[in-house]
Amino acid sequence: MEEKPRFLSLLDGISVILFLAAVLLVFFYAPLERSMGAVQKVFYFHVSTAWVGMLGFFVSALMGVMYILSREKIWDMIGFSSVEISFIFFLIAIISGSIWARPVWNTWWTWDPRLTTAAVVELIYGAYFLLRQAVDEPRQKARFSAVYAIFAFVSVPLTFVSIRMLRTIHPVVIGAGDPIGGGGFSMTGPMQVTFFFSLFTFSVLFVDVLWHRIRLEKLETMMNELRLASRN
């Protein structure tokens, strides 16, 4: 197994720097929002982790297709690692959303579309882990995960649409009529910059963590094989 690639170490460094920069931007560059105050700043991380989480789930569905077509173990590894990281990112999104909601709507949780969809999505991918755990044979595990990941990702837009067609109190920041009325806000220039920078940061962070996770998985597989070989 190769040593940690230099590019990965570089990426680690870049991720840390980007993250620090993003924090600085959020707290010192982006202006204080008029109606919600400081807590609105959670938005930058909240949306970023949610979007990147969704990206990860898309990747896992893509990996599913790749695995079914080629049967190479690497696709399964990437897919599985991707789901793991996205699961956490999404969890961060839900929790940060909760933190944001408390002062603004005076409740920790609401059954509005986006949050509800997020909860359902977490359950779907939680089930993914249970599925993997319930299947022992590695190739069957990979195949089932691939099939399920495809189903899971395809269901997300439909789930969102269904839930959204019910009432909403979630702020519709992007593409809405009257944003303030629903607890939303429109983004000024510096806010937009901060937002997109945060998005970029979390994307880089995702790739960095994913890369580490895949390496970890490979090492673990190698270790298992060595262990079994020594036993024989």
Partner 1 sequence: MIKVRNLRKRFGHKRVLSGLDFQVAKGEITALLGPNGSGKTTLLRILSSLSRPDGGEVYVGGYQLPQEADWVRERVGFVSHQPLLYGDLTAEENLWFYGRLYNVSDFRQRTASVLEMVDLQRRGADLVRTFSRGMVQRLALGRSLLHEPQILLFDEPHTGLDQDSVRMLNDVLLHMSEQGRIVLVTSHDLAQVANLASRFDVLSRGKIVASVKEEKIDLDRLLMFYREAVRRRGGERL
Partner 2 sequence: MRNYLRTVITVVWKDIVGEARNKEILTSMLVFSLLVILIFNFALDLDVQAQESVTAGVLWVTFTFAGTLGVNRSMASEREGGCLDGLLLVPVDRSALYVGKALGNLLFLLVVEVIVLPIYSVLFNVNMLVPGFLLVVLLGSIGYIAVGTLLAAMSVQARTRDILLPILLFPLAIPILIPAVKASIGYLEGYPGPWIMTWLNVIIVYDLIFTAIAVILFEYVVEDWS
Please report, as residue ranges, which positions from 63 to 122 form the binding site for partner 1 (by CB under 8 A): none
Structure tokens at 171: 């702020």
Using CB atoms within 10 Å of the CB of residue 142, give its burial: 0 to 12 exposed, 13 to 18 middle, 19+ buried: buried
| H or E element, residue 31 | none
Window 55-94: residues binding partner 2 (CB under 8 A):
68
The residue within the footprint of partner 1, chosen from 2, 3, 137, 178 (CB under 8 A), is 137
Return the residues of window 150-169 that contact partner 2 according to CB under 8 A. Answer: 150-152, 154-155, 158-159, 161-163, 165-166
Cα radius of gyration (the chain)? 20
Q: 37 - beta bridge partners?
A: 33
Selection from partner 2, partner 1, none that 138 binds (CB < 5 to 8 A by kind) is: partner 1
* From partner 2, partner 1, none, interface partner of 1 (C-beta below 5 to 8 A by class): none
CB 15 within 8 A of CB 211: no
Q: How far is the CB of 137 from partner 1 (least distance, A)?
A: 6
**Under the criterion CB under 8 A, does residue 138 sit at the interface with partner 1?**
yes
Question: 3-state secondary structure string, 87-107?
Answer: HHHHHHHHHHHHHHHHHHHCC
d(Cα 159, Cα 53) in Å, to the nearest integer? 16
Cβ atoms of 50 and 198 closer than 8 Å: no
Question: What's the min distance (Å) between Cβ of 26 and partner 2?
Answer: 33
C-beta closer to partner 1: residue 137 or 178: 137
Rule CB under 8 A: which of 206-225 touch partner 1? 224-225
Q: Which residues bind partner 1 (CB under 8 A)?
A: 136-138, 224-225, 228
